[in-house]
Chain A
């Protein structure tokens, strides 16, 4: 694809994605798309399958089936590190900061070569985006607050210069002030040209950042449309989202 002709095909296309934990069938056939430069909110109650969807896209589930194509490539059979190197950045909900490593070292683990067509990041640039991190470069991940860890995981994933971010419940358990910062960070990333799939239970947070919403329940997508449409659809909200 040449840079002159805009590519209208979605960056990420998920079709009939199924996944299992051991013998428990969790995803029953998820369909999703994320367009280039788009921010999509994956909404649903606790246990609806948001995390599982992201893990399955990343290749982190032992058993899965269905199609995942990213940037025109079928990635459904690739191991996680190959998927990551293609430009898919995963930010897990439980953060999974390397607690024994310093902030700088955590960033180093995420570092990948620059990728054409995606914003490229250096620790310096990330320290401007997340000023708190700059003050604690030498601190171990285990000695940071939850909010700081959340910023660090995001920054660490950005070091891989992804073109699409999978952000799993970034606002979960954070103080309102940090949630605010997080929303601003996501908007800044969108402005840089990044696409984002962000899972959320918090409707106002999703509304503040997302263009479109997909609502998942019991491992299937029950609603897909512009964020505005979801905000106006009381039935869907009452049925599938805890209000």
Chain B
């Protein structure tokens, strides 16, 4: 009995931290409508700054709590800076760009923190005066955790007062509901947003700094917390503080007790919970229906079928690529093989984004499913390569059919979050199920048989399979299927009015895209000879998004060009500097700032300006 009580209390303490972080995220989202990936990085920075300050002053209670407060304020200031320097330019951009921009910040902060604090785990000092534990029904429980438990409701109360009893809070709530109307009444949205980013980021920083006495500070804190906070915010209802509080409590308990029942799959449990909540309550527990659901990708001009000589460019390119082994060495062929694989991956994601308007934040899941499917067949059943490769798109396709059934029920950000959730489920299975998947040791020894072992032979095989699939994807885009998808993207209501089952087509597209990504994953596994959970992790999904973005959403060749550009840049930068995250982050930020409305929006604006002149 007492054991369960202590477990319950640990759940409450975890919930308190989770609430601090996710309240900040939900406040920022509510007002700016931007899902801030960098929120987790602010949490991590809060922990690092807190660690440094507590090391210096933390011997006295005043010094300790002063350090925590200062870390929180400093992180808040950084959040405000990000609003002024970056987000402010993106409020009218497609969500994809906003998400990518904040992910660029994640990468930059990763390297900055690694530069400033190193990559070793840092153990912090414990809070003076709260080092001991109290006995609760004869079980010891840390005193500090009791303070955290109390802090959750206190912060909720203070935030409630701030939002309901001050003019600033009233304006924020007004702008949350209707930003434009608030502006028309003389409220400067920019100032309000800067303040909101300060508050939200300071809460993340506070959550981070408060962790110092509890756990080691390291460079992985950002992603793990932000994904959990996403879940809390989505489950609670985006923008709802009380919702975030309730969801934090539920998820804290789910983790505390889940670990007793299913120690292997605690992560899966959390995401499954979220998927179930979203299907039952589309807008989360306490969320409200979006009045105007934000659009995922700005509808572009119609695709035009190339005519004349241009029609032959892809075939010509394929021919040229097939001739490359005559002149290129092994290293070039390895890089080129990867480019071709990534091009297929990016093209499959583009099918969803460009044609379907569905921005998936978890496309790596299907790439990973294909890769793991092949690798597991080889490892456990000693399957020959052709069979393993054939199984990759099938497995990924089935996975995408299952996940897609849930995902296409929602649009916009909720769709993005659901895809992310499923990707995290896949990732956590690969990461936690040591017996079957090898956990983070991955699976080694997935090599092609002799006939395909040469770099040139494997390159040609990849080229043939990927090229063929790309051709099929292109056919699908110009088939009635593709037109239907685009009709659904540009106006779901209108498409439904003429009798098109938009959701069903989106579901098929999801499965098709997943299946193509799965083939890419299978090819990748044999090209590298190994698979690791990182293949399904968030950064991999984001890489694919960046490729699509670099190439431009509006053309079918875009993702192919984008994948090539991205991969060459990445290999180049990684060989030159160990700070490649910083470089990649900055590239993303610059790209997004240069084309805040997307490349197509940019072209359209140019066109408008010329017309006026």
Contacts and interface: CB of A to CB of B under 8 A. Distances in A.
A79 B183 contact: yes
Interface stretch (B184-192, B407-415, B494-502, B541-549): B184-192
Contacts of A109: 170-171, 174, 182, 185, 187
Interface string B63-96: 0000000000000000000000000000010000
A63 interface: yes
Nearest to B288: A100
Nearest to B171: A109
Contacts of A156: 185
A143 interface: no
A80 B174 contact: no
A98 B180 contact: no
A156 B181 CA distance: 11
Contacts of B173: 98, 100-101, 105
**Which among B170, B173, B186, B608 has the highest number of chain A CB atoms within 10 Å?**
B186
Given A100-B177, A105-B170, A109-B174, A160 B183 contact: no
Interface string B166-180: 010011011001101
Nearest to A106: B174
Contacts of B182: 109
Interface string A153-170: 000110010000000000
**Number of contact residues on A: which range applies?**
20 to 34
Contacts of A20: 608
A90 B189 CA distance: 17
Contacts of A106: 174
A197 interface: no
Contact of A101 (B174, B604, B608): B174
Interface string B590-613: 000000000000001000100010
Contacts of A85: 186
B184 A84 contact: yes
Nearest to A22: B604
Contacts of B612: 65
Interface string B405-448: 00000000000000000000000000000000000000000000
B608 A63 contact: yes
Nearest to B189: A81
Contact of A80 (B170, B171, B183, B608): B183
A108 B186 contact: no
B600 to A, nearest CB: 12
A60 interface: yes
A105 B185 CA distance: 13
Nearest to B605: A63
Contact of B604 (A23, A81, A92, A99): A23
A110 interface: yes
A84 B170 contact: no
B134 to A, nearest CB: 41
A112 interface: yes
A125 interface: no
Given A81-B183, A101-B174, 10 more contacts: A60-B184, A65-B612, A80-B183, A90-B185, A99-B177, A100-B173, A101-B170, A108-B170, A109-B182, A160-B185
10 contacts: A65-B612, A80-B184, A81-B186, A81-B187, A81-B189, A84-B185, A85-B186, A92-B181, A108-B167, A108-B170
The 5 A-B residue pairs with the shortest CB-CB distance, nearest first, are A84-B186, A80-B183, A109-B174, A96-B181, A81-B183
